[in-house]
Amino acid sequence: MILSNTVVLLAGAHAAERGAFAEALHAMGAAVVILDAEGAAAPTQGAGVTRLPWRGEDSDRLAQLLLAPHGRIDGAVVLPSEAPSVAFDALDPAAFEACLAGNLDKAFHITRALSPHFAARGFGSFVYVVPAEGIVGDTGRAASTIVGLAEAGLSRAVALDFAGTSVRANCLAFVDGLQHVAAVAAFLLSDAASALTGQVVIAQGSDLHLVSQPRPLRIAHRDGGWDAQALDHGIGRRWAGAFVPPETTRDIL
């Protein structure tokens, strides 16, 4: 099995989604450690799955907590938690802060806790799972778009800092629901994906999309620098054909 002899940390999402994802990973050979922010008041263990309580420990204490069941973690999957489904001008600041805490903050603290462990062992894999609108964007989903792109940035930052090692980080976006991407996450965690790091992949049904990342599309140069009028001629008109339109996931997927 693709995850045989692999210990995987799983965090985020609702308990039912997280549990189903854990079962799928376990069926592919993994021993799964669930970081539980909702239920368990004390560590519990079932067939191949250990649940640990999450109380907002700092990175050092969190690392100790995560490593306790098996003495190691080989890979981590951070699932998305709830995000408000409203347009930006209706986004409540408190709801947005809660969204950040449940998604980006959690992903950061888990990554910060485990990255020294991965570095010391010389290998490890992070997979950050986000909704597709978190990568492409969508109307009425401002918080999800902001957080999704931030997690893609986190993944890229980790991949760059560990480039040249066997510590990897990738972002996996889904269109049709979490239950359809467990196999892709398992592949990204496994040795079979050793060449993949710093990438963004969208899973849609039977299709997998490798997503482009911000790179220069056009270059404009003017001797002596730019003024407003020159910018209109040099950028506003010449670059128009290369502008990224306000597309949503429904437009391109």
Percent share of the chain, pLDDT over 90: 79
Measure CA 229 to chain center.
Answer: 42
Q: Tell me the one-letter amino acid at 187.
A: F
Mean pLDDT of all residues belonging to the chain: 93
Q: Are residues 187 and 64 in the same domain?
A: yes
Spatial distance between the Cα atoms of 252 and 238, rounded to a whole number of angstroms:
25
Contacts of 63 (CB under 8 A, 6+ apart): 113, 114, 116, 117
Query: What CATH code is carried by the domain that includes residue 185?
Result: 3.40.50.720
Q: Are residues 204 and 247 in the same domain?
A: no
Structure tokens of 29? Answer: 């050979």
Q: Are residues 243 and 146 in the same domain?
A: no
pLDDT band at 43 (very low <50, low <70, confident <90, very high): low
Q: Are residues 194 and 138 in the same domain?
A: yes
With respect to residue 1, please indicate whether it lies within any of the assigned structural domains. Answer: no
pTM, rounded to two decimals: 0.94
Residue among 250, 226, 242, 47 nearest 138 (CA): 250
Q: Is the pLDDT of residue 42 over 80?
A: no
Show the domain range for 35. Answer: 6-210
Residue 136, judged by CB atoms within 10 A of its CB (0-12, 13-18, 19+), counts as buried
- Beta-strand pair 166-174/123-131: parallel
> For the segment 165-223, what is each residue's pLDDT rounded down to a tens digit?
999 999 999 998 898 999 999 999 999 999 999 999 999 999 999 999 999 988 989 99
Contacts of 210 (CB under 8 A, 6+ apart): 199, 200, 201
> For the segment 112-122, what is each residue's pLDDT rounded down to a tens digit?
999 999 999 99
Q: Is the dihedral of CA 73, 76, 82, 87 positive or negative?
A: positive
